[in-house]
Chains A and B, each alone.
Chain A
């Protein structure tokens, strides 16, 4: 069973994404509402992948990712950024960080697991 950590400050996004991945794919879900909480959960749970919002108050997604890359306990975990920013300049900026992939909000709850699997090369 895949284990996924969802980091997003929006309650409804965490709930919908979490239930979607549980119900459709049968994955185990962990959640965090901030970047710092996400690093803590990732360290403790060692998920197979992290789905993380870009715009969060405090430490945002890109900054959280940079911190994770400097932490040997979590640096190996693939991170997919989840963003509502659809402009090419934003995509290139996020891609340059070295994340595993980018998915866009609003996402389709019925296909979210499939999109994550495609990005990570999971069968």
Chain B
């Protein structure tokens, strides 16, 4: 059984895809500032970003798909962040219900698995921290108990959710 340790966070991986790499490509391509679409949290497109001359068609297809999916998913992403906002506020006031916790946990898990795919590595890291705080206290045969949430960590939830907002939508 092989467990691949290579991931998007592996610096040895020559990553040239995703929203973040569009920013990098733009910079490398001689454009001294981020494109306006990037500043407004719109994914850069092939038309507004200088691309390396030898870029493979296959890589370009994937980058365009990532940019398209990111744009398409923005409303869903904002809804998910709103749910995390409400859960964090409830947690800070000591009124986080089990249903809200489970819903927020599911969202944090999805974000931790997808944000990095779009180049938002820091977003994935923050979502993982949120997931750890919201993880259930009870253990089951298929889900060993993680570290228990405490009033302090639940209060920290609000800070993490704000940081996640700022990471994904820095100009809001």
Encode A89-108 as 1/0 by CB contact (under 8 A) with B: 10101010011111111111
Encode B1-22 as 1/0 by CB contact (under 8 A) with A: 1111011100001111110000
Collect the chain A residues with CB atoms within 8 Å of residue B16's CB. Answer: 110
Collect the chain A residues with CB atoms within 8 Å of residue B15's CB. Answer: 108, 110-111
A101 touching B62 by the CB < 8 A rule? no
Looking at B4, B14, B66, which has the most chain A CB atoms within 10 Å of its CB?
B4
Partner of B65, one of A15, A103, A104, A108: A15
A84 touching B8 by the CB < 8 A rule? no
A55 to B58, CA, bound (A): 29
Partner of A109, one of B4, B17, B128: B17
Chain A interface size range: 35 or more
Min Cβ gap A8→B in Å is: 9
A15-B69, A110-B62 known; A105+B3 contact, CB < 8 A: no
Min Cβ gap B69→A in Å is: 5
B8 touching A108 by the CB < 8 A rule? yes
Chain B interface size range: 20 to 34
Closest to A18 in B: B65
Collect the chain B residues with CB atoms within 8 Å of residue A104's CB. Answer: 4, 7
Partner of B7, one of A91, A95, A108, A109: A108
Does A86 belong to the interface (CB within 8 Å)? yes
A10 touching B13 by the CB < 8 A rule? no
Closest to A62 in B: B142
Does B78 belong to the interface (CB within 8 Å)? no
Min Cβ gap A51→B in Å is: 12
A15 to B69, CA, bound (A): 9
Does B36 belong to the interface (CB within 8 Å)? no
Collect the chain A residues with CB atoms within 8 Å of residue B18's CB. Answer: 109
Collect the chain A residues with CB atoms within 8 Å of residue B113's CB. Answer: 10, 13, 83-84, 105-106
* A-B residue pairs in contact (CB < 8 Å), sample of 25: A12-B114, A23-B58, A84-B128, A86-B128, A95-B1, A99-B1, A100-B1, A100-B2, A102-B1, A102-B2, A106-B7, A106-B115, A107-B7, A107-B117, A108-B6, A108-B8, A108-B15, A109-B66, A110-B15, A110-B16, A110-B62, A111-B6, A111-B15, A119-B2, A119-B4
